[in-house]
Amino acid sequence: MGVVELFPEAAADKAAAKPDRLVIRRPDDWHIHLRDGAMLRAVLPYTAAQFARGIIMPNLVPPVTNVDAASAYRARILAALPDGVPFTPLMTCYLTDATSPDEIERGFAERVWIAAKLYPAGATTNSHAGVTDLAKIAPVLERMERIGMPLLIHGEVTDPEVDIFDREAVFMEQKLLPLLARHQGLKVTVEHATTAEILDVVRAHAPRVAATITPHHLVINRTHIFQGGLRPHLYCLPVAKRERHRLALRKAATSGEDCFFLGTDTAPHVRGAKEASCGCAGVFCGPTALQTYVQVFHEEGALENFEAFASLNGPRFHGLEPNADTVTLERRENRVAESVAVDETAVVVFRGDETLPWGIGG
């Protein structure tokens, strides 16, 4: 992919006199795409090496829309884990216009899934079976509100007349704020937040509303996608925004506020699907996620808040206990492979061709 200058704020004096070693409870990843088949087997070990649990996105082909499909997918994930590596997949239901409230409640009561995912139809990868009108899932949302089941939202409108850089902002005004007003007891996670304005909405509605923040949105703005030429492996949805939004995301993530937590949105696509005339959206950041997050916290002088963001806020929001074991992060230069092999091709790793200043200890 070529080295991109991602961290203009990383000055030597800003990083001086900071710890070289950090031990935190093992984190969880509250937004993961693992795909299926050979791709699942190739990318899962990288997530499982860093995280104890993870919310698994349901946008397979066909999507995971019922209890049986979620149970079967969870079994395939567990079967793909390397021997002796503990990892708990937390499954989700892909909402459609026809989703049954009873099926939603059954899956939640049986602990098959932990949340439901709202994809506006056509908003991102494999989302065309998603929701076309929020009114059509009102009974589902009412049931979720009653049973305490969280809603995970990909917050973008799909109107082609709305500029791609404004789709999160328009969704917030036209969809999210009215939804929160109608369902005042519904728990909501705004996933992969990308704008300063959405962060303020989350703060205003906390603690029942939270947001996940990705590693890549903390370190790239929209200019990086075009730095020296088109960089398809930095293209994701929601697309990276202006620099002021990146800075707002860094401030939110490192603030220690309970309503923000880790969600990588690691989203693998094979090289040919990214480097194409119509490339897929998604950044595969699983192998370098923790290294990138901790670098940001170090640069912002907020290492004392990293455990809350990575390991505590997410479990608290979802009513789970934090993990008992720990992970060690060390300030030492290291490199991750440029790509991960998948059958006869490969998936390019975010920052996989760079020297990273932080690594994961033994």
**Stretch 308-335: mean pLDDT:** 97
For residue 294, give the amino acid letter.
V
**Long-range contact set of residues 193-196: C-beta below 8 Å, sequence gap at least 24:** 193/155, 193/168, 193/217, 193/249, 193/252, 194/168, 194/238, 194/239, 194/240, 194/241, 194/245, 194/249, 195/168, 195/169, 195/241, 195/245, 195/248, 196/244, 196/245, 196/248, 196/249
Rounded Cα gap, residues 69 and 65, in angstroms: 7
Taking CA atoms, 19 is separated from 213, 335, 358, in Å, by 24, 20, 11
In a domain, 7, yes or no: no
Three-state DSSP class for residue 163: coil
Rounded Cα gap, residues 287 and 166, in angstroms: 30
Q: 3-class secondary structure for 84-139?
A: CCCCEEEEEEECCCCCCHHHHHHHHHCCCEEEEEECECCCCCCCCCCECCHHHHHH
State the chain's mean pLDDT as an integer. Answer: 95
Residues 6+ away with beta carbon under 8 Å from 141: 134, 151, 179, 182, 183, 186
In a domain, 77, yes or no: yes
**Stretch 172-179: mean pLDDT:** 98
Cβ-in-10-Å burial (0-12, 13-18, 19+) of 154 comes to buried
In a domain, 308, yes or no: yes
Three-state DSSP class for residue 55: strand
pLDDT at 16 over 80: no
Q: What is the pLDDT of residue 18?
A: 62
State the residue range of the domain holding 197.
12-360
pLDDT tens figures, 119-141: 999 999 989 999 999 999 999 99
Q: In what order do the strands lie in the sheet with 326-335?
A: 21-25, 326-335, 355-360
Q: ∠ CA 184-102-71 to the nearest 5 degrees?
A: 105
In a domain, 3, yes or no: no
Q: What is the pLDDT of residue 361?
A: 87
- CATH number, domain containing residue 293: 3.20.20.140
Rounded Cα gap, residues 362 and 356, in angstroms: 17
pLDDT at 17 over 70: no
pLDDT at 222 over 70: yes
Q: Closest Cα to residue 80, out of 44, 109, 46?
A: 44
pLDDT at 11 over 50: no
pLDDT at 7 over 50: no
Q: What is the pLDDT of residue 119?
A: 97
Q: Are 310 and 290 in contact (CB under 8 A)?
A: yes
Give the pair of three-digit tokens for residue 36: 């299926």
- What's the pTM? 0.94
In a domain, 132, yes or no: yes
Is 265 among the residues known to form the active site? yes
Rounded Cα gap, residues 313 and 304, in angstroms: 14
In a domain, 169, yes or no: yes
**Stretch 303-315: mean pLDDT:** 98
pLDDT at 4 over 50: no
In a domain, 303, yes or no: yes
Q: What is the pLDDT of residue 353?
A: 87
pLDDT at 15 over 50: no
pLDDT tens figures, 86-110: 999 999 999 999 999 999 999 999 9
Number of domains observed in the structure of the chain = 1
Query: Which listed residue (29, 133, 166, 265) is catalytic?
Result: 265
In a domain, 346, yes or no: yes
Q: Are 246 and 240 in contact (CB under 8 A)?
A: yes
